[in-house]
Amino acid sequence: MTATTPRRVSVIIGTRDRPVLLREALASIRALEGPDLTFEILVGDNGTTPETPTVVAEFSGIYAKTDKNGCAAARNLAMRRATGEFIAFLDDDDLWTPQHIRPHIAFLDAHPDHEAVFSQIVSTNTLRQPIGEPWPGALPSDGDVFDMMLSGYFPQVGGSVFRGNAVAKYGLMDESLIGDSDWDWQLRIARNDRIGLVKMPCVLFRQRDPGSFDQLQRTRQKYTKRIFRRHAFLSRQPPLERLTARKVYRAYLGSVWQYFDYFCGQAVKRSTAGEFKGARHALFGAFVTLPHVTAVRLIRPTALRAALLASVLRNRNLATKEGNVG
């Protein structure tokens, strides 16, 4: 390859009925192109909005349509057509920053023993305003990120770049997984290959308004648990020591803790605000996620127990009782 030949990256986007946000996402991709870098934009659509193909065409993307539910089905449509030297992803409501892609390619060029590279993510509110520090802070220096991922690190797929043979080597995403299919796919890679980190913020990761996605959290955790069981006890190559029962338990807690923490926080917040029905729903969500941990917190003098008592007795003052959700 000559110095003047641009590197070609296939960018996979699954979309569903968000043409305005999709346009912003596609613009953030094309903004990174230059003489040294070109993108093959591949969009899989499982929505019904008629404007979506037009938006994709504005950015010279390749469009494919499916009626099958789930992001994996939409992404797989695009992944089947990828021809680039590298494969990258972006969700239709997120944005790439100018720091993306080139450092990833440089890393993979310098580390031929690595299959992929992750980068830091900046979570934002719906107005694209940052709501936290870039994450993750670090990954294992030897590139073995499997245990970290199984214990609750969900690499945001928009910040990841893979070698172009990843689909041939690891297959497509599991379309039976309505949630976390990208985590499952990345775990397949992390099981046997090394993955590095570009320590710079490369994706603006748009979050929903707090407390507005209970059903999503309940649905997604089911698939998180299923994926955890799928990967926790499989052998690795080269053969590594099988996880002990204690390590499996700790990893399991880590993998579902974000859901548990969400529901606990919402139970306390809603109870304090006098939204007792919503508080009870959140308490149920916490119990479904981690029943034994929830039971312990309801027995002890915690803020979660105060929220339960307040929601049952409909007494807002009880909800302000001192306790520790964490």
Q: Is residue 108 part of a domain?
A: yes
Could you tell me which of 51, 12, 259, 21 has the C-alpha nearest to residue 126? 21
Reading the block at residue 130, the tokens are: 């940052």
- State the CATH number of the domain containing residue 109: 3.90.550.10
User: 3-class SS at 43?
Assistant: strand
Give the pLDDT of the chain (326 residues) as one tens digit per residue.
445 799 999 999 999 999 999 999 999 999 999 999 999 999 999 999 999 999 999 999 999 999 999 999 999 999 999 999 999 999 999 999 999 999 999 999 999 999 999 999 999 999 999 999 999 999 999 999 999 999 999 999 999 999 999 999 999 999 999 999 999 999 999 998 999 999 999 999 999 887 778 999 999 999 999 999 999 887 765 545 556 788 889 999 999 999 999 999 999 999 999 999 999 999 999 999 999 999 999 999 999 999 999 888 876 565 555 444 44
Distance CA 54, CA 286 (A): 42
* Residue 162 sits in the same domain as residue 239: no
| CA–CA dist 150, 228 (Å, integer) | 7
The 10 Å Cβ neighbour count of residue 235 is: 10
Q: In degrees, to the nearest 5, what angle opens at C-alpha 89 toward C-alphas 84 and 94?
A: 145
Per-residue model confidence (pLDDT) at position 208: 84
Which whole-number Å values give the CA distances from 220 to 127, 145, 254, in the listed order?
24, 22, 15
Partners of 37 in the β-ladder:
7, 34
Please count the structural domains in the chain. Answer: 2
Among 178, 206, 234, the domain-final residue is 206
Burial zone of 41 (CB within 10 Å; 0-12 exposed, 13-18 middle, 19+ buried): buried
What pairs with residue 173 in β-bridges?
Answer: none
E-assigned strand segments in 145-240: 161-163, 194-206
116: domain range?
A: 7-206
